[in-house]
């Protein structure tokens, strides 16, 4: 079916997207690489060549390793909650019930809330240790209010981010469940397979592809979580909730150290691409078929 003629046409159709994305990647990236070798602070006039100094300082600061660890914890933590929570919720919503439409409307809602707003709402109305809802509940039960954002900053952020992404995974998994072959299920039931066995041998394999999609898309967004941290903890206390994007932000926009920030940006790009490489291999394998 694919003739030489249609190949040329296809190439023409793809090229605008490829060229644009290539420019979008290469122009800022090129400039960033260039800046990363300069001693360039926005507040001090003039620039000079710095060699690998910026990279050296970025990689040797104690905060870098904390940030790396926090980034991974954040991504993995949110993925665990949203994948397992999503499977559970999807299974529940797949059952016959009254008012399913309304429940779905409630469950999907957090996905529409912009990150800044959700962070502000959680921080002030819920986690604030004096006026927040949780503090009021604790006081009502005669307990000492727990100070979420200073005692468990990263866990709190994971909770906030997971809340925003749970609807996404739930919906994808629910759609997948609904396409499950009912006849097969019934046949297995007739054969006396227990619900657990049916779940394990029929449902889970059927969901694998959707789970991979959830992981892929969410990882892309979770690697660059930023607004939630900026609004709630400013990366602290200490560096307890600083992830890589936030560290780069601190370097380039709090210190206005463009050289150091650029070096950090390049390092973040490299690390993200390593993650992307493994992720893509995994997905690529799962999405063939």
**Footprint (CB under 8 A) of another protein, residues 185-244:** 209-210, 212-213, 216-217, 220, 223-224, 226-227, 231, 233-240, 244
Tokens of 223: 């690697």
Cα–Cα distance for residue pair 185/222, rounded to 1 Å:
35
Q: How far apart are CA 247 and CA 236, in angstroms?
A: 11
Closer Cβ to another protein, 161 or 172, answer by number: 172
Stretch that binds another protein, among 76-84, 114-122, 184-192, 196-204 (CB under 8 A): 114-122
Give me the 141-180 binding string for another protein, x by CB under 8 A, dash otherwise.
---xx-x-xxx-----------x--xxx--xx-xxx--x-
Q: Which residue has the tokens 């469950």?
A: 107
Q: Per 3-state DSSP, what percentage of the chain is helix, strand, and coil (rounded to 5)?
A: 75, 0, 20
Q: Would you count residue 265 as binding another protein (CB under 8 A)?
A: yes
Q: How far is 29 from 24, CA to CA, in rounded Å?
A: 8
> Does 109 engage in binding with another protein (CB under 8 A)?
yes
| Count of positions on this chain that bind another protein (CB under 8 A) | 137
Note whether 253 binds another protein by CB under 8 A: yes
Nearest approach, Cβ of residue 16 and another protein (Å): 5
Note whether 282 binds another protein by CB under 8 A.
no
Separation of alpha carbons 156 and 147, rounded Å: 10
Which position has the token pair 């499977």?
A: 87
Burial (CB count within 10 angstroms: exposed 0-12, middle 13-18, buried 19+), residue 104: middle
Candidate list 47, 68, 72, 110; residue touching another protein; CB under 8 A = 110
CB of 285 to another protein, least distance (A): 11
**Distance of alpha carbon 67 from alpha carbon 71, whole angstroms:** 6
Confirm or reject binding of residue 62 to another protein (CB under 8 A): yes
CB atoms closer than 10 angstroms to residue 256? 14
Stretch that binds another protein, among 23-31, 75-83, 189-197 (CB under 8 A): 23-31
If one asks whether residue 49 binds another protein (CB under 8 A), the answer comes out as: no
* Residue 122 near another protein by CB under 8 A: yes
């Amino acid at each position: 079916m694919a003739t030489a003629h249609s190949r040329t046409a296809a190439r023409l159709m793809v090229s605008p997207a490829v060229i644009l994305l290539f420019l979008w990647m290469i122009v800022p990236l090129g400039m960033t690489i260039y800046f990363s070798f300069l001693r360039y602070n926005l507040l001090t006039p003039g620039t000079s060549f710095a060699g690998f100094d910026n990279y050296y300082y970025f990689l040797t600061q104690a905060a870098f390793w904390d940030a790396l660890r926090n980034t991974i914890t954040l991504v993995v933590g949110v993925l665990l909650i949203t994948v397992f929570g999503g499977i559970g919720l999807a299974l529940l919503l797949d059952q016959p019930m009254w008012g399913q439409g309304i429940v779905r409307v409630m469950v999907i809602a957090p996905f529409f809330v912009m990150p800044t707003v959700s962070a502000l709402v959680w921080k002030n109305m819920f986690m604030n240790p004096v006026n927040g809802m949780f503090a009021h509940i604790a006081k009502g039960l005669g307990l000492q209010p727990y100070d979420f954002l200073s005692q468990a900053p990263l866990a709190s952020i994971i909770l906030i981010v997971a809340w925003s992404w749970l609807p996404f995974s739930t919906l994808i998994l629910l759609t997948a469940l609904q396409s499950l072959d009912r006849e097969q299920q019934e046949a297995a039931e007739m054969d006396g397979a227990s619900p657990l066995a049916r779940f394990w041998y029929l449902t889970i394999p059927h969901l694998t592809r959707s789970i991979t999609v959830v992981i892929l898309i969410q990882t892309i967004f979770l690697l660059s979580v930023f607004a939630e941290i900026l609004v709630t903890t400013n990366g602290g206390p200490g560096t307890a909730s600083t992830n890589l994007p936030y560290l780069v932000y601190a370097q380039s926009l709090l210190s206005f150290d463009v050289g150091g920030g650029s070096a950090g940006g390049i390092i973040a790009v490299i690390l993200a691409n390593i993650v992307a490489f493994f992720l893509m291999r995994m997905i690529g394998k799962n999405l063939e078929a």
